[in-house]
Chain A
Amino acid sequence: GAVVSQHPSRVICKSGTSVKIECRSLDFQATTMFWYRQFPKQSLMLMATSNEGSKATYEQGVEKDKFLINHASLTLSTLTVTSAHPEDSSFYICSARGRPGKEPQHFGDGTRLSIL
């Protein structure tokens, strides 16, 4: 089946640091990738949608300058949390999909980000 790899699985860093999270589709070409944020014991909140080769579409309330998304190839998207602060601590999950519409999203295992 479709496999999505997310790296790193856990990051602990100091306030003010920028952190990059990678999301790779290992056995299919992902025309669209999605980035979600999940707070403890809550659902997934979509942050942004990225299509290969174009700018990401951010959801309302998500700062595009804070959460930089790059989808440079059909198998890789990155999320960079710039100048991270403790309130950015969360579980970040990416997903990827081949064809739009009926194709389900395949999820990575998530990244636990802790900002001290």
Chain B
Amino acid sequence: AQSVTQLDSQVPVFEEAPVELRCNYSSSVSVYLFWYVQYPNQGLQLLLKYLSGSTLVKGINGFEAEFNKSQTSFHLRKPSVHISDTAEYFCAVSDDGTDKLIFGTGTRLQVFP
């Protein structure tokens, strides 16, 4: 079965600094990869997705992620964070042909002034 590992439970960073949130998944023939953001007491909002094609995916709010098949990774990056980026970030994977999303345990990004 698929699994997703988010190695960092918390990432503190100062405003305007770059950030990378790490995500690794268990290998599969074909996967779809997603990053979601969750603000306090809210549902999840899709940041970006990788289905096929270019390995560099650009999403909303200035975020991007790179699919690396050899390293089975899908790390999320932003060159300059804002206070408003403080939230919980979840990486998720689904197998080609299945309906289910498997979520990582989440990374709490906290941006300090």
- CB-CB contacts of A2-15 with B at 8 A, as 1s and 0s? 00101001000000
Q: How large is the interface on B (under 10, 10 to 19, 20 to 34, 35 or more residues)?
A: 20 to 34
A43 touches B90 (CB 8 A): yes
Contact B104 A102 (CB under 8 A): no
Q: Does B96 sit at the interface, judged by CB under 8 A?
A: yes
**Which residues of chain A come closer than 8 Å to B45, judged between CB atoms?**
107
- Give CA–CA (A106, B105) in the complex, Å: 19
Please give, as numbers and ranges, the residues of chain B lying within 8 Å of A106 by CB-CB distance.
46
Contact A49 B100 (CB under 8 A): yes
Q: Which of A62-116 contact B (CB under 8 A)?
A: 91, 93, 95, 97, 100-102, 104-110, 112
Interface flag for B74 (CB, 8 Å): no
Are A43 and B105 in touch, CB under 8 angstroms?
Answer: yes
A108 in contact with B100 (CB, 8 Å): no
Cα distance, A109 to B106, chains bound together (Å): 17
User: Residue A26 at the B interface, CB < 8 A?
Assistant: no
Residues of B within 8 A of A95 (CB): 43-44, 101
Q: Chain B 56-72 against A: per-residue CB contact (8 Å), 1 yes, 0 no?
A: 00000000000000000
Report if A32-B41 is in contact (Cβ < 8 Å); known contacts: A104-B34, A104-B46, A107-B36.
no
In the complex, the answer to whether A44 meets B46 with C-beta atoms within 8 Å is no
Supposing A42-B105, A43-B105 touch, asked if A109 and B42 sit within 8 A by C-beta, the answer is yes
Return chain A residues, CB-CB under 8 Å to B99.
32, 34, 49, 97, 100
Q: List, in ascending order, chain A residues with CB within 8 A of B11's CB.
A: none
Docked complex Cα distance between A102 and B101 (Å): 11
Q: When the two chains form their complex, are residues B32 and A109 in contact, meaning their CB atoms are under 8 A apart?
A: no
Q: Chain B: residues with CB nearer than 8 A to chain A?
A: 32, 34, 36, 41-46, 49, 51, 90, 96-97, 99-101, 103-106
**Could you jot down 15 A-B contacts, CB within 8 Å?**
A32-B99, A42-B105, A42-B106, A43-B106, A44-B103, A49-B99, A93-B44, A95-B44, A95-B101, A101-B96, A101-B97, A104-B49, A105-B101, A107-B44, A110-B42
Interface residues of chain A, those whose CB is within 8 Å of chain B, are 4, 6, 9, 32, 34, 42-44, 46, 49, 91, 93, 95, 97, 100-102, 104-110, 112
